[in-house]
């Protein structure tokens, strides 16, 4: 699911809570959902965590090699 679909399923309070959990504003999340802004890797991670992995880092920040990071995060000591 993309961020726009996810946010549309939340009410106003839900979007505010989501933004607070991610350390940003509801307006910035809206701009991201429209494609007017690009999420930083840090924000992409926070959105994925706050959405319970419904919205993925890959969909928010496609220029990062998330597959490599995910694969190697389990092997790092």
Q: How many domains does the chain have?
A: 1
Nearest-angstrom CA–CA distance, 66 and 56: 10
Start-end of H helices in the chain: 3-8, 12-22, 26-34, 41-50, 57-60, 66-73
Angle, to 10 degrees, between the axis of helix 41-50 and the axis of helix 26-34? Answer: 100
Confirm if 54 and 62 have CB atoms less than 8 A apart: no
Structural domain range at position 8? 3-73
Q: What is the CATH number of the domain that holds 11?
A: 1.10.260
Nearest-angstrom CA–CA distance, 18 and 25: 9
Convert the pLDDT of each residue in 4-60 to its tens digit: 999 999 999 999 999 999 999 999 999 999 999 999 999 999 999 999 999 999 999
| pTM (2 d.p.) | 0.87
């Amino acid at each position: 699911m993309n961020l726009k679909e996810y946010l549309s399923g939340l009410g106003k309070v839900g979007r505010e809570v989501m933004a607070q959990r991610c350390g940003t504003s509801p307006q910035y999340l809206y701009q991201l959902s429209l494609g007017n802004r690009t999420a930083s890797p840090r924000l992409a991670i926070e959105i994925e965590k706050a959405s319970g992995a419904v919205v993925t880092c890959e969909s928010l920040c496609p220029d990062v090699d998330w597959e490599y990071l995910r694969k190697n995060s389990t092997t790092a000591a």
